[in-house]
Amino acid sequence: MHNLTDKPRLGITLGDLNGIGTEVIIKALADNRVMNLFTPVVYGSTRALSFYRKQMGLEEFNYSQVKTPGQYFHKAVNVVNCWEEVIEIQPGQPSRQTAHAALLSLKRAVEDLKAGHLDGLVTGPIDKNTIHGTDFPFQGHTEYLTQEFGAGESLMLMVSDALRVGLVTEHIPVKDIPTFITKERVELKIRLMELTLKQDFNITKPRIAILGLNPHAGDEGLLGKEETEIIRPVIQDLKTRGKLVFGPYPADGFFATSQHYKYDGIVAMYHDQGLVAFKTLSFETGINYTAGLPYVRTSPDHGTAYPIAGKNQANENSMRQAMYVACDIIKNRAAQTVEN
Protein backbone atom coordinates (compact mmCIF):
# COMPACT_ATOMS: atom_id res chain seq x y z
CA MET A 1 0.00 0.00 0.00
CA HIS A 2 1.14 3.54 -0.69
CA ASN A 3 0.25 4.63 2.83
CA LEU A 4 -1.73 3.41 5.81
CA THR A 5 -4.89 5.24 4.75
CA ASP A 6 -5.13 3.40 1.42
CA LYS A 7 -7.50 0.48 1.05
CA PRO A 8 -5.66 -2.73 0.16
CA ARG A 9 -6.08 -3.88 -3.43
CA LEU A 10 -6.86 -7.60 -3.17
CA GLY A 11 -6.41 -9.91 -6.14
CA ILE A 12 -8.92 -12.77 -5.94
CA THR A 13 -8.59 -15.81 -8.24
CA LEU A 14 -11.73 -17.79 -9.07
CA GLY A 15 -10.01 -21.17 -8.80
CA ASP A 16 -11.57 -24.10 -10.62
CA LEU A 17 -14.76 -22.89 -12.32
CA ASN A 18 -16.50 -26.22 -11.72
CA GLY A 19 -15.95 -26.00 -7.97
CA ILE A 20 -17.47 -23.67 -5.38
CA GLY A 21 -14.84 -20.93 -5.71
CA THR A 22 -16.83 -18.55 -7.89
CA GLU A 23 -19.95 -19.06 -5.77
CA VAL A 24 -18.28 -18.25 -2.45
CA ILE A 25 -16.44 -15.27 -3.95
CA ILE A 26 -19.70 -13.79 -5.25
CA LYS A 27 -21.41 -14.40 -1.91
CA ALA A 28 -18.53 -12.82 0.01
CA LEU A 29 -18.42 -9.76 -2.25
CA ALA A 30 -22.20 -9.36 -2.55
CA ASP A 31 -22.20 -7.40 0.72
CA ASN A 32 -21.21 -3.93 -0.48
CA ARG A 33 -19.77 -3.08 2.95
CA VAL A 34 -16.61 -4.98 2.04
CA MET A 35 -15.82 -2.18 -0.44
CA ASN A 36 -15.07 0.02 2.58
CA LEU A 37 -12.32 -2.39 3.63
CA PHE A 38 -10.56 -3.25 0.37
CA THR A 39 -10.71 -2.96 -3.42
CA PRO A 40 -11.52 -6.41 -4.89
CA VAL A 41 -9.90 -7.38 -8.20
CA VAL A 42 -11.25 -10.73 -9.41
CA TYR A 43 -9.11 -12.75 -11.84
CA GLY A 44 -11.02 -15.06 -14.12
CA SER A 45 -13.89 -14.27 -16.44
CA THR A 46 -16.98 -12.06 -16.51
CA ARG A 47 -18.74 -14.97 -18.24
CA ALA A 48 -18.05 -17.23 -15.26
CA LEU A 49 -19.35 -14.59 -12.84
CA SER A 50 -22.46 -14.13 -14.96
CA PHE A 51 -23.07 -17.89 -15.06
CA TYR A 52 -23.02 -18.25 -11.27
CA ARG A 53 -24.73 -14.94 -10.62
CA LYS A 54 -27.67 -16.08 -12.72
CA GLN A 55 -27.68 -19.56 -11.21
CA MET A 56 -27.79 -18.12 -7.69
CA GLY A 57 -30.38 -15.49 -8.55
CA LEU A 58 -28.09 -12.63 -7.53
CA GLU A 59 -28.76 -10.38 -10.51
CA GLU A 60 -28.04 -7.30 -8.38
CA PHE A 61 -24.40 -8.40 -8.02
CA ASN A 62 -22.49 -6.05 -10.35
CA TYR A 63 -18.88 -5.75 -11.46
CA SER A 64 -16.67 -3.69 -13.76
CA GLN A 65 -14.17 -5.00 -16.28
CA VAL A 66 -10.56 -3.83 -15.86
CA LYS A 67 -9.29 -2.23 -19.06
CA THR A 68 -5.84 -1.15 -17.86
CA PRO A 69 -3.74 -3.05 -15.29
CA GLY A 70 -3.77 -1.25 -11.96
CA GLN A 71 -6.65 1.08 -12.81
CA TYR A 72 -9.55 -0.01 -10.62
CA PHE A 73 -12.89 1.29 -9.43
CA HIS A 74 -12.48 1.52 -5.65
CA LYS A 75 -16.17 1.14 -4.85
CA ALA A 76 -16.83 -1.79 -7.16
CA VAL A 77 -15.89 -5.40 -7.89
CA ASN A 78 -13.21 -5.25 -10.60
CA VAL A 79 -12.78 -8.18 -12.99
CA VAL A 80 -9.70 -9.05 -15.05
CA ASN A 81 -10.58 -11.35 -17.94
CA CYS A 82 -7.77 -13.90 -18.17
CA TRP A 83 -8.83 -15.78 -21.31
CA GLU A 84 -10.85 -15.13 -24.45
CA GLU A 85 -12.23 -18.54 -25.36
CA VAL A 86 -15.59 -19.78 -24.13
CA ILE A 87 -15.10 -22.37 -21.39
CA GLU A 88 -17.92 -24.77 -20.65
CA ILE A 89 -18.83 -24.69 -16.98
CA GLN A 90 -20.14 -27.97 -15.55
CA PRO A 91 -20.41 -27.60 -11.78
CA GLY A 92 -19.14 -30.63 -9.91
CA GLN A 93 -17.20 -32.11 -12.84
CA PRO A 94 -13.38 -32.22 -12.83
CA SER A 95 -12.12 -30.76 -16.11
CA ARG A 96 -8.72 -30.11 -17.66
CA GLN A 97 -10.19 -27.05 -19.36
CA THR A 98 -11.35 -25.39 -16.16
CA ALA A 99 -8.09 -26.40 -14.44
CA HIS A 100 -6.16 -24.62 -17.21
CA ALA A 101 -8.39 -21.57 -16.76
CA ALA A 102 -7.62 -21.60 -13.02
CA LEU A 103 -3.91 -21.60 -13.81
CA LEU A 104 -4.29 -18.69 -16.25
CA SER A 105 -6.05 -16.60 -13.62
CA LEU A 106 -3.44 -17.48 -10.98
CA LYS A 107 -0.52 -16.57 -13.26
CA ARG A 108 -2.14 -13.27 -14.26
CA ALA A 109 -2.77 -12.33 -10.62
CA VAL A 110 0.82 -13.18 -9.69
CA GLU A 111 2.08 -10.98 -12.55
CA ASP A 112 0.00 -8.05 -11.29
CA LEU A 113 1.12 -8.64 -7.71
CA LYS A 114 4.78 -8.53 -8.76
CA ALA A 115 4.12 -5.43 -10.86
CA GLY A 116 2.76 -3.59 -7.84
CA HIS A 117 -0.85 -3.44 -9.03
CA LEU A 118 -2.04 -5.46 -6.00
CA ASP A 119 -1.28 -5.51 -2.29
CA GLY A 120 -2.25 -9.12 -1.63
CA LEU A 121 -3.71 -12.28 -3.10
CA VAL A 122 -6.67 -14.49 -2.14
CA THR A 123 -6.84 -17.74 -4.09
CA GLY A 124 -9.97 -19.74 -4.85
CA PRO A 125 -9.68 -23.54 -4.55
CA ILE A 126 -8.14 -25.55 -7.39
CA ASP A 127 -8.41 -29.24 -8.21
CA LYS A 128 -4.85 -30.45 -7.58
CA ASN A 129 -5.34 -33.54 -9.72
CA THR A 130 -6.57 -31.89 -12.94
CA ILE A 131 -4.27 -28.84 -12.73
CA HIS A 132 -1.14 -30.91 -12.17
CA GLY A 133 1.01 -31.23 -15.30
CA THR A 134 3.97 -29.79 -17.16
CA ASP A 135 2.60 -26.25 -16.78
CA PHE A 136 2.00 -26.77 -13.06
CA PRO A 137 4.30 -29.47 -11.61
CA PHE A 138 3.35 -28.56 -8.05
CA GLN A 139 1.26 -30.14 -5.29
CA GLY A 140 -0.72 -26.95 -4.72
CA HIS A 141 -0.76 -23.16 -4.44
CA THR A 142 1.73 -23.07 -1.55
CA GLU A 143 4.55 -24.78 -3.42
CA TYR A 144 3.89 -22.82 -6.63
CA LEU A 145 3.85 -19.40 -4.95
CA THR A 146 6.91 -20.19 -2.84
CA GLN A 147 8.90 -20.84 -6.01
CA GLU A 148 7.28 -18.03 -8.02
CA PHE A 149 8.16 -15.45 -5.38
CA GLY A 150 11.67 -16.82 -4.84
CA ALA A 151 11.07 -17.39 -1.14
CA GLY A 152 13.18 -20.55 -0.81
CA GLU A 153 10.88 -21.77 1.96
CA SER A 154 7.46 -20.88 3.31
CA LEU A 155 5.13 -22.04 6.04
CA MET A 156 1.63 -23.34 5.40
CA LEU A 157 -0.25 -21.72 8.27
CA MET A 158 -3.89 -22.35 9.12
CA VAL A 159 -5.42 -19.36 10.90
CA SER A 160 -8.62 -18.75 12.86
CA ASP A 161 -9.51 -16.48 15.77
CA ALA A 162 -8.54 -19.15 18.29
CA LEU A 163 -5.90 -21.19 16.49
CA ARG A 164 -2.79 -20.91 14.29
CA VAL A 165 -1.32 -24.20 13.07
CA GLY A 166 1.79 -24.36 10.88
CA LEU A 167 3.17 -27.45 9.14
CA VAL A 168 6.72 -28.82 8.93
CA THR A 169 5.69 -30.97 5.94
CA GLU A 170 2.79 -30.24 3.61
CA HIS A 171 1.55 -32.14 0.57
CA ILE A 172 3.69 -35.28 0.66
CA PRO A 173 2.78 -38.99 1.05
CA VAL A 174 2.61 -40.18 4.66
CA LYS A 175 5.28 -42.83 4.02
CA ASP A 176 7.79 -40.07 3.12
CA ILE A 177 7.17 -37.81 6.14
CA PRO A 178 10.01 -39.09 8.39
CA THR A 179 12.64 -38.35 5.73
CA PHE A 180 11.62 -34.67 5.82
CA ILE A 181 11.80 -34.38 9.61
CA THR A 182 15.33 -33.01 9.96
CA LYS A 183 16.79 -30.61 12.51
CA GLU A 184 17.29 -28.01 9.79
CA ARG A 185 13.72 -28.20 8.49
CA VAL A 186 12.06 -28.28 11.92
CA GLU A 187 14.09 -25.26 13.08
CA LEU A 188 13.36 -23.36 9.87
CA LYS A 189 9.62 -23.88 10.18
CA ILE A 190 9.63 -22.83 13.85
CA ARG A 191 11.58 -19.70 12.92
CA LEU A 192 9.11 -18.90 10.13
CA MET A 193 6.28 -19.35 12.63
CA GLU A 194 7.92 -16.95 15.08
CA LEU A 195 8.64 -14.40 12.34
CA THR A 196 5.10 -14.39 10.99
CA LEU A 197 3.55 -14.15 14.46
CA LYS A 198 5.67 -11.05 15.10
CA GLN A 199 5.53 -9.44 11.67
CA ASP A 200 2.06 -10.36 10.44
CA PHE A 201 0.07 -10.81 13.67
CA ASN A 202 1.75 -8.21 15.91
CA ILE A 203 2.63 -10.66 18.71
CA THR A 204 5.82 -9.37 20.36
CA LYS A 205 6.88 -12.52 22.25
CA PRO A 206 5.01 -15.44 20.70
CA ARG A 207 4.60 -18.70 22.59
CA ILE A 208 4.91 -21.66 20.22
CA ALA A 209 3.99 -25.31 20.87
CA ILE A 210 5.68 -28.10 18.90
CA LEU A 211 3.91 -31.42 18.31
CA GLY A 212 5.75 -34.72 18.14
CA LEU A 213 5.81 -36.92 15.06
CA ASN A 214 5.01 -40.29 16.63
CA PRO A 215 2.17 -41.50 18.89
CA HIS A 216 2.72 -40.29 22.47
CA ALA A 217 5.51 -38.05 21.08
CA GLY A 218 7.65 -41.17 20.72
CA ASP A 219 7.23 -42.40 24.32
CA GLU A 220 10.89 -41.59 25.12
CA GLY A 221 12.12 -43.49 22.06
CA LEU A 222 9.91 -46.55 22.42
CA LEU A 223 7.66 -45.53 19.48
CA GLY A 224 10.20 -43.64 17.40
CA LYS A 225 13.45 -41.69 17.73
CA GLU A 226 12.52 -38.42 15.94
CA GLU A 227 11.45 -36.68 19.13
CA THR A 228 14.56 -37.51 21.16
CA GLU A 229 17.09 -37.18 18.33
CA ILE A 230 15.67 -34.31 16.24
CA ILE A 231 12.70 -32.36 17.59
CA ARG A 232 13.60 -32.01 21.28
CA PRO A 233 17.22 -30.92 20.60
CA VAL A 234 15.92 -28.19 18.26
CA ILE A 235 13.49 -26.99 20.93
CA GLN A 236 16.22 -26.95 23.59
CA ASP A 237 18.58 -25.04 21.32
CA LEU A 238 15.95 -22.40 20.53
CA LYS A 239 15.12 -22.05 24.22
CA THR A 240 18.75 -21.25 25.02
CA ARG A 241 18.42 -18.40 22.51
CA GLY A 242 15.45 -16.95 24.33
CA LYS A 243 12.68 -18.36 22.15
CA LEU A 244 9.40 -19.34 23.84
CA VAL A 245 9.06 -22.79 22.28
CA PHE A 246 7.63 -25.80 24.10
CA GLY A 247 7.16 -29.52 23.49
CA PRO A 248 7.20 -31.90 21.79
CA TYR A 249 3.62 -32.71 22.75
CA PRO A 250 1.54 -35.77 21.79
CA ALA A 251 -0.92 -34.36 19.26
CA ASP A 252 -4.03 -36.20 20.44
CA GLY A 253 -3.81 -35.21 24.09
CA PHE A 254 -2.66 -31.70 23.22
CA PHE A 255 -5.87 -30.82 21.40
CA ALA A 256 -8.16 -33.03 23.50
CA THR A 257 -7.20 -31.14 26.67
CA SER A 258 -7.45 -27.71 24.97
CA GLN A 259 -3.73 -26.98 25.38
CA HIS A 260 -3.84 -25.08 22.08
CA TYR A 261 -5.46 -22.09 23.80
CA LYS A 262 -2.24 -21.44 25.75
CA TYR A 263 -0.12 -20.77 22.66
CA ASP A 264 0.06 -18.18 19.90
CA GLY A 265 1.11 -20.77 17.34
CA ILE A 266 1.39 -24.54 16.98
CA VAL A 267 3.84 -26.36 14.71
CA ALA A 268 2.61 -29.78 13.52
CA MET A 269 4.88 -32.30 11.82
CA TYR A 270 2.55 -33.24 8.96
CA HIS A 271 -0.61 -32.23 7.13
CA ASP A 272 -3.36 -34.29 8.75
CA GLN A 273 -1.85 -34.07 12.23
CA GLY A 274 -2.45 -30.34 12.23
CA LEU A 275 -5.37 -29.95 9.84
CA VAL A 276 -7.72 -32.58 11.28
CA ALA A 277 -7.71 -30.70 14.58
CA PHE A 278 -7.81 -27.29 12.92
CA LYS A 279 -10.73 -28.04 10.62
CA THR A 280 -12.64 -29.74 13.41
CA LEU A 281 -12.32 -26.64 15.58
CA SER A 282 -12.42 -23.89 12.93
CA PHE A 283 -13.76 -25.23 9.63
CA GLU A 284 -16.11 -22.43 8.55
CA THR A 285 -14.02 -19.59 10.00
CA GLY A 286 -10.49 -20.85 9.33
CA ILE A 287 -8.24 -19.83 6.45
CA ASN A 288 -4.94 -20.89 4.90
CA TYR A 289 -2.08 -18.36 4.95
CA THR A 290 1.27 -18.82 3.23
CA ALA A 291 3.72 -17.32 5.72
CA GLY A 292 7.27 -16.40 4.79
CA LEU A 293 6.51 -14.90 1.37
CA PRO A 294 7.35 -11.32 0.34
CA TYR A 295 3.65 -10.98 -0.62
CA VAL A 296 0.49 -11.71 1.35
CA ARG A 297 -1.49 -14.73 0.17
CA THR A 298 -4.50 -16.32 1.84
CA SER A 299 -7.18 -18.80 0.80
CA PRO A 300 -10.23 -20.49 2.30
CA ASP A 301 -9.45 -23.70 4.19
CA HIS A 302 -11.63 -25.86 1.92
CA GLY A 303 -11.26 -27.34 -1.54
CA THR A 304 -13.40 -27.32 -4.68
CA ALA A 305 -16.23 -29.21 -2.91
CA TYR A 306 -17.47 -30.70 -6.20
CA PRO A 307 -20.44 -32.55 -4.61
CA ILE A 308 -22.16 -29.25 -3.71
CA ALA A 309 -20.85 -27.09 -6.57
CA GLY A 310 -23.57 -25.27 -8.49
CA LYS A 311 -26.23 -25.99 -5.86
CA ASN A 312 -26.02 -22.66 -4.02
CA GLN A 313 -25.17 -24.53 -0.81
CA ALA A 314 -21.57 -23.44 -0.25
CA ASN A 315 -20.76 -21.42 2.86
CA GLU A 316 -18.73 -18.29 2.08
CA ASN A 317 -17.48 -17.62 5.62
CA SER A 318 -13.99 -19.02 5.05
CA MET A 319 -13.57 -17.06 1.81
CA ARG A 320 -14.73 -13.87 3.53
CA GLN A 321 -12.30 -14.51 6.40
CA ALA A 322 -9.48 -15.08 3.90
CA MET A 323 -10.15 -11.61 2.51
CA TYR A 324 -10.31 -10.01 5.97
CA VAL A 325 -7.13 -11.71 7.23
CA ALA A 326 -5.25 -10.68 4.07
CA CYS A 327 -6.27 -7.05 4.70
CA ASP A 328 -5.19 -7.24 8.34
CA ILE A 329 -1.77 -8.66 7.47
CA ILE A 330 -1.21 -6.13 4.68
CA LYS A 331 -1.95 -3.30 7.11
CA ASN A 332 0.23 -4.83 9.86
CA ARG A 333 3.16 -5.06 7.46
CA ALA A 334 2.60 -1.51 6.21
CA ALA A 335 2.52 -0.20 9.79
CA GLN A 336 5.79 -1.95 10.62
CA THR A 337 7.39 -0.52 7.48
CA VAL A 338 6.39 2.98 8.59
CA GLU A 339 7.73 2.37 12.12
CA ASN A 340 11.04 1.12 10.77
Range of the domain at 204: 154-288
Q: Please say if the pLDDT value at position 2 is more than 50.
A: no
Q: What is the mean pLDDT of residues 24-46?
A: 95
Q: What is the mean pLDDT of residues 237-257?
A: 96
At residue 1, the pLDDT reads 54
137 and 222 both lie in a single domain:
no
Q: What is the mean pLDDT of residues 111-131?
A: 96
Which of 300, 315, 314, 309 minimizes the C-alpha distance to 93? 309
Q: What is the percent of the chain with per-residue pLDDT over 90, rounded to a whole number?
A: 86
Q: What is the mean pLDDT of residues 44-58?
A: 94
At residue 55, the pLDDT reads 92
Residue 10 in contact with residue 91, Cβ under 8 Å?
A: no
Q: Is the pTM of this model over 0.85?
A: yes
Q: What is the mean pLDDT of residues 208-230?
A: 90
Residues 283-331: tens digit of each pLDDT? 778 999 999 999 999 999 999 999 999 999 999 999 999 999 999 999 9
Q: What is the percent of the chain with per-residue pLDDT over 70, rounded to a whole number?
A: 98
- CATH number of the domain encompassing residue 243: 3.40.718.10
Preceding omega of 300 cis (within 30 degrees of 0): no
Comparing 21 with 223, which gets the higher pLDDT?
Answer: 21
Residues 59-94: tens digit of each pLDDT? 889 999 999 999 999 889 999 999 999 999 999 999
- Neighbour tally for 202: CB within 10 Å: 12
91 and 146 both lie in a single domain:
yes
180 and 228 both lie in a single domain:
yes
Please state the domain count of the chain.
2
Exposure string (b/e) for 16-28, b if CB count within 10 Å is 16 or more? bbbbbbbbbbbbb
Q: What is the mean pLDDT of residues 15-25?
A: 97
Cα-based distances in Å from 152 to 146, 192, 294: 7, 12, 11
147 and 17 both lie in a single domain:
yes
Q: Please say if the pLDDT value at position 185 is more than 50.
A: yes
At residue 184, the pLDDT reads 97
CA–CA separation, 85 vs 97, rounded Å? Answer: 11
120 and 164 both lie in a single domain:
no
At residue 213, the pLDDT reads 96
H or E element that contains 10: strand 9-13
16 and 136 both lie in a single domain:
yes
Give 24-63 as a DSSP string: HHHHHHSSGGGGGT-EEEEEE-HHHHHHHHHHHT-TT---
52 and 164 both lie in a single domain:
no
